[in-house]
Amino acid sequence: MEMLKKDKSNNDVQESSLSEKYSKLFDQLERCNEDEQRKKIEEMNEVIDEMDEEEFESMFTPVLLNKMHKMFVEKKLLMNDALVLLKHFGYYRVLKFSHVYGIEEASFYERFEEMIIDEEMKKKEKDEKLLVDLFECYLLLNNRFNSILFSICVPCLMKVALKKEGNEETQKEVEMALLALSNVLYLDMGQELNLNDIKEIIQYQQEHHNLTRLAYQSVWQFLIYRFFNDKRLEDAIANELHLAREAKKEMEELMIYVDWKRTEEEREKETKEELILLRWLEVLNLYFSKCRLRNEEFVGLVGSIVRVFRAARDNYKEISNQCVYSLKKAAESRAGKIDDLLKSGSIDAVLDEIQQQTMNDRIVSDLLSFFMVVLWKLEEKEKDEKEKAKRKELKRKVFEKMEEEGYEDIIIWLGHYIYCSAFGDFQLIKNCFDYFVFL
């Protein structure tokens, strides 16, 4: 216990020093010339990269934005330098799923909107680079957008995203543009979505590999969010662009770069590969929620989630828990069939996990929901005798899996856990007992 307290104390000192270091650098900005300011900003961005999410969220507030705006108004901070700082804030926020509230009320955020409108209203000599920087900051820093401004942002950033050069500078520009677009959640774009442009970006990457991993994940995320408002995209996503095949390939390649043996205590912060892997799982959860079309790639995709789960389960709870949720969503998907769950190994993985003694209520709920879906799909009415025989064979295989893993012991453990549990989902508890009685 003393060791834990000591470690926590050391972490607190480190966090405190990061905050103090950033504050000192920020306070020094207004006393620097242009060259010195740029060097300070580079240092400040490096400090941000060292922070964890809690530290970042406590430091990046509307108050900080208002101070920056005041410096800009008083001409103590150049707009280009301010945008470099703000873009890095946004990059960190979106990549690490950080939630910062009240940003849209900051004076600098309002300034973005004014500057975007002013620059866009110009009939000639528009500063395209300034517009791109403004658009990226506008989309990265917040999730609440003016729909009129949004309709201006998207075509401009899509133009950047369509760049084909494979050099490092262009890759960074494309990555930032696509990351900004990926932060646009369920906003209905209407006719502003140019599906041909998105297809071009994805298909060119599949052939030429000109994008960074984060850029490629981001363009898929941008497309999947549009899927919620336009179900006509499903065929293009599943069968033309091959989401399942591409997500499987990307996740399995990312797994190579993750040190799965590193414990939670040893992990000071997530690597970029770990964060991109989490972003892929988020995207797949959205897709599973809405997809109806099934192809042969579905089984491979679910199998890759199982492999990520098995790699992460001992030392990386955030990823393993996200995998459990993804497997639940895959089971719930109308495209997913019972034989897909068997072939992918997801039933084995869930049976194995449900015997663990250290799960929280949310994970237990997800695991039980997975079994409820299995039951419902097994009870679906068969259309003909051939289908009925196939369903009977599937039931036999599922029950054999239960027996192989010793499901009788699981029932006793779950019964005790559910009775004592605080999550209190009566319908889930009832369904759980109904399920095991059915077995």
pLDDT tens digits along 188-225: 655 445 788 999 999 999 999 999 999 999 999 999 98
Q: For residue range 218-244, what is the model confidence (pLDDT) as tens digits?
A: 999 999 988 776 777 888 899 999 999
Residue 144 has pLDDT above 90, yes or no: no
Residue 320 has pLDDT above 90, yes or no: yes
Highest-pLDDT range among 131-145, 248-262, 362-376? 248-262
Residue 109 has pLDDT above 50, yes or no: yes
Q: pLDDT at position 290, please? A: 83
How would you class 143 by CB atoms within 10 Å of its CB: exposed for 0-12, middle for 13-18, buried for 19 or more?
middle
pLDDT band per the 50, 70, 90 thresholds, residue 435: very low
Residue 409 has pLDDT above 70, yes or no: no
Q: pLDDT at position 7, please? A: 44
Q: What is the average per-residue pLDDT within 13-31?
A: 79
Of 152-156, 380-384, 388-392, give the lowest mean pLDDT range.
380-384
Residue 411 has pLDDT above 50, yes or no: no
Of 157-171, 209-223, 414-428, give the lowest mean pLDDT range.
414-428
Average pLDDT over all residues of the chain? 81
Residue 263 has pLDDT above 80, yes or no: yes
With b for 16 or more beta-carbon neighbours within 10 A and e for fewer, the 153-182 pattern comes to bbebbbebbeeeeeeeeebebbbbbbbbbb
Q: pLDDT at position 310, please? A: 95
Q: pLDDT at position 16, please? A: 55
Residue 395: Cβ within 10 Å count? 14
With b for 16 or more beta-carbon neighbours within 10 A and e for fewer, the 184-207 pattern comes to beebebeebbeeebbeebbeebee
Residue 4 has pLDDT above 90, yes or no: no
Alpha-carbon gap, residue 190 to 169, rounded angstroms? 32
Which pTM was predicted?
Answer: 0.85
For residue 292, what are its two tokens? 């109806």
**Do residues 287 and 224 lie in contact, with contact meaning Cβ atoms separated by under 8 Å?**
yes
Residue 395 has pLDDT above 70, yes or no: no
Alpha-carbon gap, residue 48 to 56, rounded angstroms? 7
SS3 1: coil
Q: Tokens 């507030």 appear where?
A: 61
